[in-house]
Structure 1
Amino acid sequence: MKSILLKFSVIFLVILLSSGFTPKKNKSVQDFQGKAYYFSKAKMDLGTWGARLNEGQKKEVEARLKNRLQKNYVLTFNKEESFFEEEDQLDAMSGATDSWGKNFTPGHQYKNVKTNSQVQNQEFYGKNFLVKDSLQPIVWVMGKETKEIGNYTCFKATASIPTNELTWYNFSWNRLNETADDSTKDDIAMTIVEAWYTPQIPVGHGPLEYWGLPGLILEVSAGNTTMLCSKIIINPKEQVEIKAPEKGKIVSKQEYQQIISKKMIEFRDNRSGRRRG
């Protein structure tokens, strides 16, 4: 009797496999997905030039720069992957998108914490680049402080990260001058980062370059900018495929920065030549 049942079980298993049947994976592993909505605010530093402005002029400048000082983002994530993108905003004064600013802002960013990889598409003056590199190494110092962000209990973590590594998609004349000056090569500018993460969402994701904590990062402050999560949706009804961007010239972060620097020097030299002419 046992041999008959064993033979029947084997035959039934063969039929199931030949018909294309495969056991379903645990839903929490296969289908888990979330969306986190962030907004960022940056403090405006007008330097010595701003000291000459009255309060009315300062408010006018703030209104014109609002799109660059306040931005909205969406982070779509699962257990291993995330996709980070900025929501388009209209210029407060002209009603147009900020085309100049987009040359120096982060493009669509894909991160994979399992493979330690990052893919980000960047557009610089009409040319598309596909920046492929490793995730930014971050040594987090875990704190014991906690606070509530929405319905989530968050823990504090801090890190010191090279400033240039956090803003590799941007351009700075100061950075260019430091690279050319051998005396400053050993003096690396660092940015102190403060992050708040929640173990209630146990994924190692976060906005921008930030990742690697035992919970989703809901708030992060670096330099004069703070990014805060305003809404979280776990397992939305309509899930999307999280995949890396594919179009553009493939370069590393360092190569992309070299391309930007070279082009900005050309712009400066061409402008200087026209003035002399």
Structure 2
Amino acid sequence: MKAIIIFFIGLLTGSTVVAQHAKFITTGTIEYDKTINMFAIARGLLNKNDVFSNQAFEQYQKNQPQFVKFKGKLIFNKDKTLFTTERPIENVVIFQANPLANQYNTTYVDFSSGISTILRSIQGQDFLVKDSIRKIKWRIMGDTREIAGYTCREAHGVVQDSIYVVAFYTDKIWVSGGPESFSGLPGMILQVTLPREHVTWAATKVTIEPVPDAALTPPQKGKPISNKQLVETLRAAFSARGSTGKYQLKIFTL
């Protein structure tokens, strides 16, 4: 009889431990590294027939790092996320037009209302873009990867009809968010890669802690505008820049 009682106590204790580990996370802070392949982007924008530009690019490769990193932070609770990017202590040297290396958005997402508010600083002007949360066409894949201590599942998606996205998300964090304005998967996105744009956001640390609603507030400054209006404004401003203008438009509205 005593052995049976001990057996059932063991079962109950084991169940409690499993339940604790199975708890879903709905609040905390995630730190990300945004890594940009500067050489690959510069090479894609290079006019191969321009001798001077090619020589300048060779010097750039000799004197500057191929990869640069920016620190980002996402705070979240079950209904809201707020993502910010820190400016580096030392200025990043950019070759030609590379908006990715000069992009410091503040992105607030309210899942309960379905609205996102993004402060986009574009060439000296601040735009406050308030619109519905961006919809991404995701396809969940079979591969997994360990990121910041969490097993994450791979998913592929497309934004702006042509930008290919590879993401890894964990269903242990029960919030459908991610860095910048990437969201829409059944869990938190801990890594996003845009292979053709040569940029990756990857989580380096996840801290589980309560985040009060007061800390999750949307940005306020900037010219109020919708996504459609922003695209129209930038298209008009960049139309004379040819392929470079098209690239800038694509990146500034990611």
Give unpaired runs (5+ residues) of structure 1.
1-27, 95-99, 164-189, 269-277
Letter paired with 2:215: E
More strand per residue: 1 or 2? 2
In the alignment, what sits opposite 1:218?
190
In the alignment, what sits opposite 2:84?
85
Alignment partners' CA distance in 2, 1:90 and 1:34:
26
Alignment partners' CA distance in 2, 1:226 and 1:199:
20
Q: CA 1:142/1:104 → structure 2, altered by over 3 Å: closer, same or farther?
A: same
Q: CA 1:51/1:136 → structure 2, altered by over 3 Å: closer, same or farther?
A: same
Letter paired with 1:59: K
In the alignment, what sits opposite 1:183?
none
Asked if 1:33 is matched to 2:5, the reply is no
Which one of 112, 118, 121 corresponds to residue 120 of structure 1?
118
Q: Is the 8 A contact 1:199 1:215 kept in 2?
A: yes
Post-superposition Cα deviations, 1:56-102, rounded to whole Å, max 9, x if no partner, equal: 64131x34x86xx42111111111111111112123579xxxxx969
Post-superposition Cα deviations, 1:214-237, rounded to whole Å, max 9, x if no partner, equal: 111111111211111001111168
Asked if 1:132 is matched to 2:130, the reply is yes
Structure showing greater radius of gyration is: 1
Q: Is the 8 A contact 1:40 1:226 kept in 2?
A: yes
In the alignment, what sits opposite 2:61?
58
Letter paired with 1:248: G
Alignment partners' CA distance in 2, 1:265 and 1:237:
43
Give unpaired runs (5+ residues) of structure 2.
1-22, 243-254
In the alignment, what sits opposite 2:202?
228
Q: CA RMSD in A?
A: 3.4
SS in 1 for 2:137: coil
In the alignment, what sits opposite 1:209?
181
Q: Is the 8 A contact 2:117 2:129 kept in 1?
A: yes
TM-score (structure 2 length as normaliser): 0.68
In the alignment, what sits opposite 2:215?
241
Alignment of 1:1-277 (within 5 A): 33-43=27-37, 44-45=39-40, 46=43, 47=46, 48=48, 52=55, 57-60=60-63, 62-63=64-65, 69-92=68-91, 105-162=103-160, 190-222=162-194, 223=196, 224-235=198-209, 241-264=215-238
Post-superposition Cα deviations, 1:154-186, rounded to whole Å, max 9, x if no partner, equal: 1111112226xxxxxxxxxxxxxxxxxxxxxxx
TM-score (structure 1 length as normaliser): 0.63
Alignment partners' CA distance in 2, 1:123 and 1:92:
16
Question: How far does residue 258 in structure 1 lie from its aligned partner after superposition?
Answer: 2.6
SS in 1 for 2:151: strand
Q: Is the 8 A contact 2:148 2:206 kept in 1?
A: no
Q: Is the 8 A contact 2:190 2:203 kept in 1?
A: yes
Letter paired with 1:242: L
Question: How far does residue 199 in structure 1 lie from its aligned partner after superposition?
Answer: 1.1
Between the two proteins, the alignment pairs up a number of residues equal to: 205
Post-superposition Cα deviations, 1:232-264, rounded to whole Å, max 9, x if no partner, equal: 111168985201112232111221233234445
Alignment partners' CA distance in 1, 2:100 and 2:35:
17
